[in-house]
């Protein structure tokens, strides 16, 4: 039997006959009588899977509450009219939103067109993408990097130099690279000031510089110590310089020069490393005894010499015997 009637001060726990009931007075709708709220309204009673179910709708606010009665009695009222749900026209979400889907994302539209997107790249990817459709800009959080298709700026300064061949200084013509080394309490700086270049090691606590290496305001090539080479081969010593200059020294030890009034005839030797062209050669005789009579002379023949070979001649004028001596040669030329 379906009943339609009015409620007075009944306890709703006792209203179990199927039907529609009205409560016209707020003062009768008390929680002591097991109403969900203190508001007049309509009660609908209907069969349920267990025993009976009640639905109560308030008159003024149109709130809807539901509860059921089973073998253990009545359960608590629960509001079901959209509480904690956002309307299609908008609202505020005060808790966390969780999306459980293979391809999970949130997309914003404007006038029916895609405007922005945040979510997974596709149904199988773990990459997280933030995209602006209007600007054609996106950032992707990938397994081994953060990728973006546009330049990244901090303030007015560009950080990511996508597509550039050189790092760029700021507008005041100052720029550089800084490498912090926390375990040493210092940092390495490479800076440009006007037309100068500086390499600096600076203490991070005191701000004092351990050293500063500054290049002068001129063009040129910087050489390393390794670019200056030294080599010794027998009685030859060879020094090569980055600009292409080469200096070689050589000596010959012998006793006496030649018989008095005689010459040695034309003599030759090959340089340990050939010059690119005939070098400038200086030669002298060094006597072992300081009492030796300096009566000998060595002559170098430039026009008969070349980059690989030195041509020279010895001659003695008045002394018969000078003892032990060394004939020394110094050549300055180029190796490249």
Higher pLDDT among residues 216 and 253, named by residue: 253
For residue 79, what are its two tokens?
């509001």
What is the per-residue pLDDT for 298? 85
Residue 121 and residue 142 in one domain: yes
DSSP letters spanning 318-331? S-S---EEEEEEEE
Mean local confidence (pLDDT), 177-191: 75
Rounded Cα distance between 130 and 10, Å, is 59
Mean local confidence (pLDDT), 118-142: 94
Mean local confidence (pLDDT), 115-144: 94
Residue 233 and residue 330 in one domain: yes
What is the per-residue pLDDT for 184? 75
Residue 123 and residue 196 in one domain: no
Contact 157, 145 (CB under 8 A): no
Q: H helices of 85-217, where?
A: none
- Give how many domains the chain has, as a whole number: 4
What is the per-residue pLDDT for 294? 62
Rounded Cα distance between 219 and 168, Å, is 20
**Best mean pLDDT range from 32-41, 247-256, 321-330:** 32-41
Write the secondary structure of 19-45 as one string of H (helix), E (strand) and C (coil): EEEEECCHHHCCHHHCCCCCCCEEEEE
The answer to whether residue 116 sits within a structural domain is yes
Among 230, 222, 182, which residue's Cα sits nearest to residue 203?
A: 182
177: pLDDT strictly greater than 90: no
Give Rg (Cα) of the chain.
51
Residue ending a domain, among 190, 217, 244, is 217
Rounded Cα distance between 114 and 157, Å, is 30
The answer to whether residue 246 sits within a structural domain is yes
The answer to whether residue 223 sits within a structural domain is no
If DSSP codes are grouped into helix, strand and coil, which group holds residue 99?
coil
Rounded Cα distance between 234 and 249, Å, is 11
What is the per-residue pLDDT for 264? 73
DSSP letters spanning 256-287? --SSTT-EEEEEEEE-SS--SSPPEEEEEEEE
Mean local confidence (pLDDT), 89-118: 89
What percent of the chain is predicted at pLDDT more than 70? 86
**What is the reported pTM?**
0.45
Mean pLDDT of the chain: 86
**Best mean pLDDT range from 164-168, 175-179, 327-331:** 327-331
Residue 299 and residue 241 in one domain: yes
Longest alpha-carbon distance in the chain: 158
Range of 63's domain?
3-79
179: pLDDT strictly greater than 90: no
Residue 75 and residue 113 in one domain: no
Residue 325 and residue 273 in one domain: yes
The answer to whether residue 119 sits within a structural domain is yes
164: pLDDT strictly greater than 60: no
The answer to whether residue 169 sits within a structural domain is no
Residue 213 and residue 268 in one domain: no
Confidence bin at 169 (pLDDT 50/70/90): low
172: pLDDT strictly greater than 60: no
Confidence bin at 190 (pLDDT 50/70/90): confident
Confidence bin at 101 (pLDDT 50/70/90): confident
List, for residues 271-319, the tens digit of each pLDDT value. 999 999 999 999 998 888 766 556 677 899 999 999 999 999 988 776 6
Mean local confidence (pLDDT), 217-225: 73
Residue 317 and residue 239 in one domain: yes
Contact 65, 80 (CB under 8 A): yes
For residue 318, what are its two tokens?
């008045």
Residue 246 and residue 304 in one domain: yes
Residue 196 and residue 235 in one domain: no
The answer to whether residue 168 sits within a structural domain is no
Residue 284 and residue 325 in one domain: yes
What is the per-residue pLDDT for 283? 95
Higher pLDDT among residues 59 and 316, named by residue: 59
H-helix or E-strand spanning residue 251: strand 245-255
Lowest mean pLDDT among 6-10, 21-25, 122-126, 163-167: 163-167
What is the per-residue pLDDT for 217? 67
Confidence bin at 191 (pLDDT 50/70/90): confident
215: pLDDT strictly greater than 90: no
Contact 46, 64 (CB under 8 A): no
Give the strand pairing for 19-23 and 3-6: parallel
What is the per-residue pLDDT for 170? 55
Rounded Cα distance between 38 and 32, Å, is 10
What is the per-residue pLDDT for 291? 62
- Exposure on the CB side of residue 285, measured as CA atoms within 13 A: 26
The answer to whether residue 120 sits within a structural domain is yes
Residue 205 and residue 235 in one domain: no
Confidence bin at 5 (pLDDT 50/70/90): very high
Contact 277, 307 (CB under 8 A): yes
DSSP annotation of 87: B
CATH number of the domain encompassing residue 241: 2.60.40.3940
List, for residues 14-37, the tens digit of each pLDDT value. 999 999 999 999 999 999 999 999
Work out the number of other CB atoms within 10 angstroms of the CB of residue 65.
21
The answer to whether residue 92 sits within a structural domain is no
Mean local confidence (pLDDT), 139-160: 84
- Exposure on the CB side of residue 204, measured as CA atoms within 13 A: 12
H-helix or E-strand spanning residue 141: strand 137-141
């Amino acid at each position: 039997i379906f009943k339609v009637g009015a409620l007075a001060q009944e306890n709703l726990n006792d209203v179990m006959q199927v039907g529609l009931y009205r409560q016209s007075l707020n003062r009768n709708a008390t929680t002591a009588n097991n109403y969900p709220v203190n508001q007049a309204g309509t009660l609908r009673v209907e069969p349920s899977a267990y025993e009976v179910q009640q639905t109560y709708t308030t008159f003024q606010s149109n709130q809807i509450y539901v509860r059921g009665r089973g073998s253990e009695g009545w359960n608590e009222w629960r509001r079901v009219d959209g509480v904690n749900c956002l309307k299609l026209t908008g609202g505020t979400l005060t808790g966390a939103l969780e999306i459980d889907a293979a391809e999970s994302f949130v997309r914003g539209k404007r006038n029916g067109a895609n405007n922005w997107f945040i979510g997974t790249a596709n149904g199988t990817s773990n990459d997280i993408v933030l995209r602006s459709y209007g600007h054609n800009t996106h950032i992707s959080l990938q397994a081994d990097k953060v990728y973006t298709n546009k330049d990244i700026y901090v303030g007015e300064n560009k950080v990511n130099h996508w597509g550039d061949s050189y790092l760029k200084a700021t507008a005041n013509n100052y720029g550089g690279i800084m490498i912090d080394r926390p375990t040493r309490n210092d940092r390495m700086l490479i800076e440009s000031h006007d037309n100068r270049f500086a390499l600096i090691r600076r203490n991070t606590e005191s701000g004092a510089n351990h050293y500063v290496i500054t290049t002068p305001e001129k063009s040129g090539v910087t050489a390393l110590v390794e670019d200056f080479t030294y080599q010794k081969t027998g009685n030859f010593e060879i020094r090569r310089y980055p600009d292409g200059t080469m200096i070689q020294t050589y000596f010959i030890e012998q006793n006496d020069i030649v018989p008095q009034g005689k010459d040695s005839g034309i003599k030759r030797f090959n340089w340990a490393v050939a010059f690119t062209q005939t070098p400038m050669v200086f030669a002298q005789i060094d006597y072992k005894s300081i009492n030796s009579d300096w009566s000998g002379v060595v002559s170098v023949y430039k026009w008969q010499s070349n980059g690989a070979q030195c041509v020279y001649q010895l001659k003695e004028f008045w002394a018969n015997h000078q003892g032990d001596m060394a004939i020394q040669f110094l050549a300055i030329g180029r190796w490249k």
